[in-house]
A and B are shown apart, each in its own frame.
Chain A
Amino acid sequence: MRYLKRRIFQALGAFLPNAHLQGFATASLYQGSLKTVCSPLLNCYACPSALQSCPIGTLQHFMVTGAFPFYAAGTLAVIGASVGRMTCGTLCPFGFLQDLLYKFKTWKTTIPVWTRYFRYAVLAGLVFIIPYLTQENWFSKLCPMGTLIGGLPWVTLNLNVRSMIRWLFWVKIAILLFFMTTSLAVKRPFCRAVCPLGAIFSVFNKSSFLQLAWNPDTCTRCGKCQKICPVDIRPDRNPTNPDCLRCLDCTRCPSLKVTTVLHRNPFGIPAAGERGEENFTEVGAR
């Protein structure tokens, strides 16, 4: 049921920020007041149906102008401090696409844990440093989500845009195809290794208001939580793992539970003394 709910949320996360469908008919961008909102999703604001702004595109724009992006950074920090990476797991349309592609019955493999550090390099390099130095939004130029819902629709809808196709467009297509193909075999490769928005939110996982709690007393270490995890981690080993998407799929197991930072003992486990267990030093003192 929880899994189905997540799929419904993901479908809404894909549709609602792109609900300006007449943009496809008129081949124009929505420019109303909702475009001032930075959505907490990797959702291209160059998509003809996009209602909101891309937070990564906004961060790059401010880097290009040489100003600190207080509004975009504050928006992402407020969301991160509240729910950590939950928007990645429950709303992000590109994450949804990768989840669906992984459902195909093909050969499956995993990627090394160290690849997670690459997303921080992408955030620092392609979102902050290179745009600041070159005055160009380099992550947006290469973003596979931008290619899928921004680049491809515009090339299809507008002949002038089609005539502007150069080598960079084919690089973007190759990047998109690479991540779509690898998603057939690997769980969410883009989210785990590349996504700069996920890199920002993952910093907040340890101290966000929403937390995941693990009960060591009831856990049998069966590893089923890893099998159902969309990013292939063991939540029982580290419930505050920066890779955790807070999708809450693993809370189907009674040893894992969603909680808040206010709860110090979410499972109500009695302390060692209250359980009647004798302390070693106390036994030795008798």
Chain B
Amino acid sequence: MSWRLVAFLLTAVGAGSVLAYGIFRDEIGEVMFNAAML
């Protein structure tokens, strides 16, 4: 397995986890609120 594939897998898992945690924290609602306050 090449280092590039390992780096991709680690990045993808990390990115997916950060996104999932953001959704779990209901940050989507805060983005909506911020957009409405413009």
A residues near B, CB below 8 A? 29, 31, 33, 35-36, 38, 45-46, 53, 57-58, 61-62, 65, 69-75, 77-78, 80-82, 204, 206-209, 211, 261-262, 264
Residues in B1-38 with C-beta less than 8 Å from chain A: 2, 4-5, 7-8, 11-12, 14-23, 25, 27-32, 34-36, 38
Contact across chains for A81 and B31 when beta carbons are under 8 A apart: no
Of the candidates A33, A77, A207, the one whose C-beta lies within 8 Å of that of B18 is A77
Q: Which of A31, A81, A262 has the most CB of B within 10 A?
A: A81
Contact across chains for B32 and A35 when beta carbons are under 8 A apart: yes
Contact across chains for A36 and B31 when beta carbons are under 8 A apart: yes
- A57–B18 Cα gap in the complex (Å)? 18
- Chain A residue at minimal CB-CB distance from B19: A74
With A78-B15, A81-B15 in contact, is A72–B2 under 8 Å at CB? Answer: no
Contact across chains for A70 and B21 when beta carbons are under 8 A apart: yes
Contact across chains for B11 and A70 when beta carbons are under 8 A apart: no
15 contacts between A and B (CB under 8 A): A29-B35, A31-B35, A35-B35, A46-B38, A57-B34, A61-B31, A71-B22, A72-B31, A74-B17, A75-B19, A77-B11, A81-B8, A81-B12, A208-B8, A261-B8
Q: Which residues does chain A contribute within 8 Å of B25, judged by CB atoms? A: 70-71
Contact across chains for B23 and A71 when beta carbons are under 8 A apart: yes
Of the candidates A53, A73, A74, A206, the one whose C-beta lies within 8 Å of that of B31 is A53
Q: Which residues does chain A contribute within 8 Å of B22, judged by CB atoms? A: 69-75
Q: Which residues does chain A contribute within 8 Å of B29, judged by CB atoms? A: 36
What is the minimal beta-carbon distance from A61 to any residue of chain B, in angstroms? Answer: 5
Contact across chains for B11 and A36 when beta carbons are under 8 A apart: no
- Chain B residue at minimal CB-CB distance from A65: B30
Contact across chains for B19 and A206 when beta carbons are under 8 A apart: no
Smallest CB-CB A-B distances: 10 pairs? A74-B19, A71-B22, A70-B22, A77-B15, A207-B7, A71-B27, A74-B18, A35-B35, A81-B11, A61-B34
Q: Which residues does chain B contribute within 8 Å of A69, judged by CB atoms? A: 22, 27
Contact across chains for A36 and B8 when beta carbons are under 8 A apart: no
- A69–B31 Cα gap in the complex (Å)? 10
Contact across chains for A53 and B35 when beta carbons are under 8 A apart: yes
Q: Which residues does chain B contribute within 8 Å of A74, judged by CB atoms? A: 15-23
Q: Which residues does chain B contribute within 8 Å of A206, judged by CB atoms? A: 4, 7
- A275–B34 Cα gap in the complex (Å)? 61
What is the minimal beta-carbon distance from B6 to any residue of chain A, in angstroms? Answer: 9
Q: Which residues does chain A contribute within 8 Å of B19, judged by CB atoms? A: 70-71, 74-75, 77-78
With A72-B22, A208-B8, A264-B2 in contact, is A80–B27 under 8 Å at CB? Answer: no
- A17–B5 Cα gap in the complex (Å)? 32
- A29–B33 Cα gap in the complex (Å)? 13
Q: Which residues does chain A contribute within 8 Å of B38, judged by CB atoms? A: 29, 45-46
- Chain A residue at minimal CB-CB distance from B33: A61
Q: Which residues does chain B contribute within 8 Å of A75, judged by CB atoms? A: 19, 22
- A49–B12 Cα gap in the complex (Å)? 32
Of the candidates B18, B20, B34, B36, the one whose C-beta lies within 8 Å of that of A58 is B34
